[in-house]
Chains A and B, each alone.
Chain A
Amino acid sequence: MKLMEYQGKDLFRRVGIPTPNGVYTTDAGDVKAYLTEHPGSWVLKSQVMMGGRGKAGGIKFADDAQQGETLARELLGKVLKSVQNPDGEEVKSLLVEEKVDIASEAYVSITIDRAAKKPVVMVSRFGGMDVEEVAEKNPDDIKKYWVDASIGYSPYIGRRLAFAAELPAGYRKGFPAILGALYTLFMDYGANLVEINPLVLTKDGRVIASDAKVELDDNGLYKHPEIAQWNSESPADEDQAAAVAIGLGMSNYAKLGGTIGVIANGAGLGMGTMDAIRSAGGEAANFLDIGGGAQADLVKKSYNLVTSDPRVNAMFINIFGGITRGDQVARGIVEALAGDDVRKVPLVVRLTGTNAEEGRRILDAAGFVPVETMDEGAARAVALANGR
């Protein structure tokens, strides 16, 4: 679950990472009232999930209350578009923050190194820019440290990284504690990624998290039920929402660009099926892992989800019957798709396992195309999608 900046900063404050003074709002009137009460220079930051919001015009500066209100009205409801997000995303809320005088900008993040099975901390003195660009052009400017999770964080790690990355002297006092707090957040809230870019050193000597990027592990969200609720207030991934709505795991469905619908039992087989379709000259319209068993009700819901994409003009159901019986799966499919409440597209079903032959006879009798192997199924599906 990705968090928006204001949500990430909420977590930052809980663990003691300093953030700029400011207010979060969905209303331009609030901006005027706040700026009237707190005169000075302020930044209005659009709260969106997409990257590149600055370039898309989502960040504005205001020096008085009237200007603040005008800019807030302009931003709220605006659809921001960027290279990463050509469809655009509507601005529904703003974070209004003090404009800080920047002396220096650093980068700091913690993520999971899957290969090392350890949290990895990354620090660079080049903050405020695209870190992937820094990593590509000057990899030596990013210093890394792999934390032993059995020991956890200790301030020497922060000191060592600050010296190695040559952070300006002004950071030295505050940095180890801030990194410690970030590690606490990373472990206690179960984050796949916590990133501060930039971590600002102000001209008056404060160290402040000017931005917040936090992505939480969905599997750990049950430990923080109140944060799991945040998801419903922010734009969730459409595919995930669709999967959960029919009772699948949230990453078991993904819409792709092709014309051939895919339903498979198992993630690996689902990916293999997409690949087989491409090998046969077609493109999968989606990825869908229906899990074990392939029960009739779930087959129907999955079929309807996949065919809700108007581009889908053929379907390939690929079931490797390990433990499940082929005839049961076949009956389930026939039963599920018997009614008039499904959009009929040519359907190829691959069945193996116990009683697979009987299963294929049942499918054949129902007017579907039964096949024995994945390659054959992919070829038939591609041919049917092309109207042959």
Chain B
Amino acid sequence: MSIYLDKNSKVIVQGITGREGAFHTQRMLAYGTQIVGGVTPGKGGTTIETGQPVFDTVKDAVDATGATHSILFVPPFAGADALWEAYDAGITLAVCITEGIPAHDMLRVVATTSGMRIIGGNCPGVISPGKSLVGIMPGHIFKEGNVGMISRSGTLTYEIVDGLTRAGFGQSTCVGIGGDPIIGTTFVDCLRAFANDPETTALVVAGEIGGSDEEDAAAFIQAHIPDKPVVAFIGGRSAPKGKRLGHAGAIISGNTGTPESKVKAFADAGVPVADRPSDIPRLLAERLKPIPA
């Protein structure tokens, strides 16, 4: 098993004929993802180079293909509209790659789309290695296995996953939740799903400074995931206060969002925090070692 997507998930691409959309559609197809079509208003009735049909609206695409998943490559100003269109057409999981959707658009979207899981915006997507990739991640660094991975960032996820794979730890599902301030799916949402996934036997949570998602994750792990070892990492621990570092969400303001608070929260929950990404496989191996009788 895996969370959020498997071999049979039918996926459409919103913005399938755009530069990014077209490029990543081919990469996802090459990985084995069931891309059943896509949407570009005005290009309905055509097909892309590999034969998948293009539709004018998400509703047309869903009606014709039975898709349940969508991945969005649309400009920020169209992000809210595209998410609402997906919701209205019955999509149950939408991966929003788009960076920089206005926060207040996202506030309205998340308040009005209950029942549809939104991953992102500003995220690298979701991958269940060996099964399906709905995102922009480099599929070849992942390996099928039992570690569930959640991260706020893109390249840092790849850095960590690369280390896990090299150390022999395959992954059940990796979710990049996104770096924008208002995102659809939090660490806790992912943890809840992983807690119920028997194939996931260990977890890596890669957070960063800013916000309180990591603290919430630590509390959830302590209360609800007693049986699966977890290792955490916090990016940006050397960042000064008040500086916004790339991700709009990554800023320490006042006493919230500090690395100290996050490290302490994980420590209190019995979760080791790796100093460096390269320490993660070792910490995971230690935690997975059978305790001698």
- Check if A322 sits within 8 Å of B137, measured CB to CB: yes
Q: Closest chain A residue to B79 by CB distance?
A: A219
Stretch among B11-19, B33-41, B56-64, B147-155 lining the A interface: B147-155
Cα distance A149–B104 in the bound complex, in angstroms: 9
Asked whether A275 lies within 8 Å of B243 as measured between CB atoms, the reply is no
Asked if residues A256 and B240 are in contact (CB atoms below 8 Å), the reply is yes
Contact A271 B156 (CB under 8 A): yes
Interface 0/1 of A255-278, CB less than 8 Å to B: 011000000111111111011111
Query: Does B269 reach chain A (CB closer than 8 Å)?
Result: no
Asked if A375 is at the interface of the complex by the 8 Å CB criterion, the answer is: yes
**Which of B100, B137, B278 is close to A375, meaning CB atoms less than 8 Å apart?**
B278
Contact B158 A322 (CB under 8 A): yes
Residue of A nearest to B206 (CB): A268
- Contact among A218, A270, A320 for B245, CB-based, below 8 A: A270
| Binary flags per residue of A103-139, CB closer than 8 Å to B gives 1, else 0 | 0000000001011011100000000000010000000
A217 contacts B107, C-beta separation under 8 Å: no
B186 at the interface (CB under 8 A from A): yes
The smallest beta-carbon distance between B138 and chain A, in angstroms, is 4
Do A114 and B111 touch across chains, with their CB atoms under 8 A apart? no
Once the chains are docked, how many angstroms separate the CA of A41 from the CA of B151? 57
Cross-chain contact B162 with A271 (CB below 8 angstroms): no
Q: Is B212 close to A, CB under 8 A? A: yes
CB distance from B285 to the nearest CB of A (A): 18
In the assembly, what is the distance between CA of A272 and CA of B151, in Å?
13
**Cross-chain contact B101 with A320 (CB below 8 angstroms):** no
Question: How far is B216's CA from A58's CA once the two chains are assembled, in angstroms?
Answer: 41
With A114-B212, A219-B103 known as contacts, the answer to whether A264 contacts B155 (CB < 8 A) is yes
Contact with A along B111-139 (1 / 0, CB 8 A): 11000000000000000000000001110
Interface string of A232-253 (1 = CB under 8 A from B): 0000000100000000010110
Query: In whole Å, how far is B87's beta carbon from the nearest beta carbon of chain A?
Result: 12
Residues of B within 8 A of A5 (CB): none
State whether A112 touches B181 (Cβ < 8 A): yes
In the complex, how many angstroms separate the beta carbon of A97 from the nearest chain B beta carbon? Answer: 29
Most buried by B among A249, A268, A271: A268
> In the complex the two chains form, is B103's CB within 8 Å of A112's CB?
yes
Give the interface centre of B102, B238, B247 by most chain A CB atoms within 10 Å: B238
Q: Does B182 make an interface contact (CB < 8 A)?
A: yes
> Is the Cβ of A266 less than 8 Å from the Cβ of B103?
no
Given contacts A264-B155, A287-B245, contact A276 B212 (CB under 8 A): no
Nearest CB of chain A from residue B212's CB, rounded to whole Å: 5
Instruction: Return the chain A residue nearest B179 by Cβ.
Output: A267
Question: Is the Cβ of B181 less than 8 Å from the Cβ of A268?
Answer: no
| Interface: B72 (CB within 8 A) | no
Cα(A271)–Cα(B233), bound, Å: 12
Q: Which of B77, B108, B110, B277 contacts A374 (CB 8 A)?
A: B277
The reply to whether A268 and B208 contact each other, CB–CB distance below 8 Å, is: yes
In the complex, the answer to whether A268 meets B179 with C-beta atoms within 8 Å is yes
Q: How far is the CA of A284 from the CA of B182 in the complex (A)?
A: 29
Is B81 part of the binding interface, using a Cβ–Cβ cutoff of 8 Å? no
**Complex contacts, A289 vs chain B, CB 8 Å:** 245-246
CA distance in complex: A281, B119 (Å): 37
CA distance A279 to B247 in the complex (A): 22
Residues of A317-367 whose CB lies within 8 A of B: 320, 322-323, 352-353
In the complex, which of the residues A112, A252, A271 contacts B209, with contact meaning CB atoms closer than 8 Å? A271
Contact between chains at B111 and A271 (CB < 8 Å): no
Contact B244 A374 (CB under 8 A): no
Q: Quick one: given A274-B239, A276-B276, A320-B159, are A149 and B111 in contact (CB under 8 Å)?
A: yes
Question: Assuming A223-B102, A320-B155, is B248 touching A275 (CB within 8 A)?
Answer: no
Question: Does B237 touch A at the CB level, under 8 Å?
Answer: yes
Q: How far is the CA of A76 from the CA of B270 in the complex (A)?
A: 56
CA distance A322 to B73 in the complex (A): 19
Contact A252 B246, beta carbon cutoff 8 Å: yes
B104 touches A187 (CB 8 A): yes
In the assembled complex, which residues on chain B have CB atoms less than 8 Å from the CB atom of A115? 186, 211-213, 216
- Tell whether A148 is near chain B: CB-to-CB under 8 Å: yes
Known: A269-B155, A322-B155. A219 touches B100 (CB 8 A): yes
* Cross-chain contact A114 with B138 (CB below 8 angstroms): no
Contact residues, B233-259 vs A (CB, 8 A): 235-240, 243-250, 254
Closest B residue to A132 by beta carbon equals: B254
Q: Are A271 and B102 in contact (CB under 8 A)?
A: no
Q: A321's closest neighbor in chain B, by CB?
A: B138
CB-CB under 8 A for A114 and B244, given A119-B107, A132-B254, A277-B238: no
Q: Kindly state whether residue B283 has any CB partner on chain A within 8 Å.
A: no
Asked if A229 lies at the interface with its beta carbon under 8 angstroms from chain B, I say no
> Which residues in window 126-166 of A have CB below 8 A to B?
132, 148-150
Pick the residue among A254, A269, A322 that contacts B153 (CB under 8 A).
A269
User: Contact: A268 with B211, CB < 8 Å?
Assistant: no
Tell me the bound Cα distance from A219 to B78 in angstroms. Answer: 12
Q: Which residue of B lies closest to A280 (CB)?
A: B276
Q: Is B76 an interface residue (CB 8 A)?
A: yes
Contact of A268 among B105, B157, B186 (CB under 8 A): B157
Least CB distance, A270 to chain B, in whole angstroms: 6
* B248 lies within 8 A of A320 (CB): no
- If A219-B103, A222-B77, A279-B275 touch, whether A271 touches B211 (CB-CB below 8 Å) is no
Structural contact, A118 and B107, CB atoms closer than 8 A: yes
> A132-B254, A322-B141 provided; 7 other pairs, C-beta below 8 A?
A186-B104, A190-B103, A251-B246, A251-B248, A270-B245, A271-B239, A287-B246
| Interchain Cβ contacts under 8 Å between A and B, 8 examples | A117-B111, A118-B107, A251-B245, A266-B154, A266-B156, A267-B246, A272-B159, A323-B138
- Counting from the closest, the 4 A-B pairs by CB-CB distance are A268-B153, A267-B246, A266-B155, A268-B156
